[in-house]
Structure 1
Amino acid sequence: MSALDYTANNLQGKPVDLKQYLGKVVLVVNTASNCGFTPQYKGLEAVYQQFKDKGVEVLGFPCNQFGHQEPGSAGEIGAFCEKNYGVTFPMFDKINVNGSDAHPLFQHLKSKAPGLLGSESIKWNFTKFLIKKDGTVFKRYAPQTAPQELIRDIEQLLAE
């Protein structure tokens, strides 16, 4: 099974088949509006703008599981991202990334790219996963890893 064999609802509540991103390098991030890492939205948007025409997608998945830092509704989340960070990459409906009700996409990502010491749980907002064009998970990145630090890996995957 591929990381892109799932469906997720966008901020408008409409299901999005992630298979549409097959053939692209995909960066998946769990996000939050009230987090110390929230300014990474700007870096994520910069990466998206730099590479979107070369076959890269950035997908944001708001999550309220860490310090209740994403309390807003889908509409509030979308407005916040657009107004404060100019986000144009696809944002999805709020999900859980840990626990028994974690979104299946994140269950898959965590099992294929465990974190420190093999832990599958996500520790905080802005954990990032880079997915190859064929839908296989390439790597997990810690929340403190700035989006710009992924550029070398993105370029490598685009060249494959």
Structure 2
Amino acid sequence: MEALGGYPTKSSAFRANLFKVLLSVAVCMGSLYLIQTKLSKSRKPKDFYSYEVKDARGRTVSLEKYRGKVSLVVNVASGSELTEQNYRSLQELHRELGTSHFNVLAFPCSQYGDTESGTSREIEAFARSNYGVTFPVFSKIKIMGSEAEPAFKFITDSVQRIPKWNFWKFLVNPEGQVVHFWKPEEPIEEIRKEVVVRVRDIILKKRQEL
């Protein structure tokens, strides 16, 4: 309703101003939502080294410390028919190529039969005392299902494969991307050849940067 002379009443003017205020608030809220969404996406880990995991004692470890190196990520077990052969060959590979450019990263998993029933600290102690393992043995994780360890899920999503048994091996390059994987029955010599090539690439690159 308008007052005489065609001017709006106070109530209609109030409603118009209120609408403008509400519209401004809605626009601001929308902008904040978009900014928050972009920030959330930008924080999402984009490579293996962007994740954090737990060590055998439950302490948080940033995988960022391995960036710039080649990593062989393995789902290990203490009571498998493959345990002795794999722990010995993995330790030999880890010792041979050193930790300057390469690491074996072991993730115990108890989802494959009754092959890993101990606690994380017991698993680590078993590997060290029986096979002289010096590479990192992290906290026991799940690989399958909704409770899968996010860092390992990145690995399996990258290759679109979930290990069907213990000691699958996944090669992660210095940038944190999965570039190769091997099933347990594949010989360690084939893995060594690929790892050596990747390590040489790192060394050559560093020399060129000097």
Name the TM tier (shorter chain): over 0.9
**Is structure 2 residue 168 aligned with structure 1 residue 127?**
yes
**Distance in structure 1 (CA, Å) of the matches to 2:148 and 2:54:** 14
Q: Which moves more between the two structures, 13-22 or 144-153?
A: 144-153
Percent of pairs with identical residues:
36
SS of the aligned residue for 1:133 comes to coil
Are positions 1:24 and 2:65 aligned together? no
2:133 counterpart of 1:87: yes
Q: Aligned ranges for residues 1-20 of structure 1 at < 5 Å?
A: 1-20=46-65
**For 1:45 and 1:11, how far apart are their aligned partners in 2?**
18
d(CA) in 2 for partners of 1:100 and 1:106?
Answer: 12
User: How far did 1:121 drift?
Assistant: 2.1
Counterpart AA for 2:200: A
User: Following superposition, which runs of at least 4 residues in structure 1 exceed 3 angstroms of deviation?
Assistant: none
Larger Rg: 2
Aligned residues: 155
Higher helix residue share = 2
Larger RCO: Structure 1 or Structure 2 (Cα < 8 Å, ≥ 6 residues apart)? 1
Which of residues 71, 91, 115 is equivalent to 2:117? 71
Q: Are 2:200 and 1:154 equivalent residues in the alignment?
A: no
Does residue 1:100 correspond to 2:141, yes or no? no
| TM-score scaled by length of structure 1 | 0.92
Correspondent of 1:140 among 168, 181, 184: 181
Give the superposition deviation at 1:23: 0.5
| Structure whose residues are more often strand by fraction | 1
1:56 matched to 2:97? The reply is: no
Mapped to 2, the partners of 1:70 and 1:17 lie a distance apart of: 24
Q: Mind listing any 5+ residue stretches in structure 1 that lack a counterpart?
A: 115-119
**Residues 22, 95 of structure 1: alpha-carbon distance in 2 compared, 3 angstrom cutoff:** same
Query: Does 123-132 or 143-152 show the bigger shift?
Result: 143-152
CA RMSD of aligned residues (A): 1.2
**Matched-pair contact (CA < 8 Å) for 1:47–1:148:** no
Q: Deviations over 1:112-140 (max 9, x none)?
A: 113xxxxx222011011001111111111
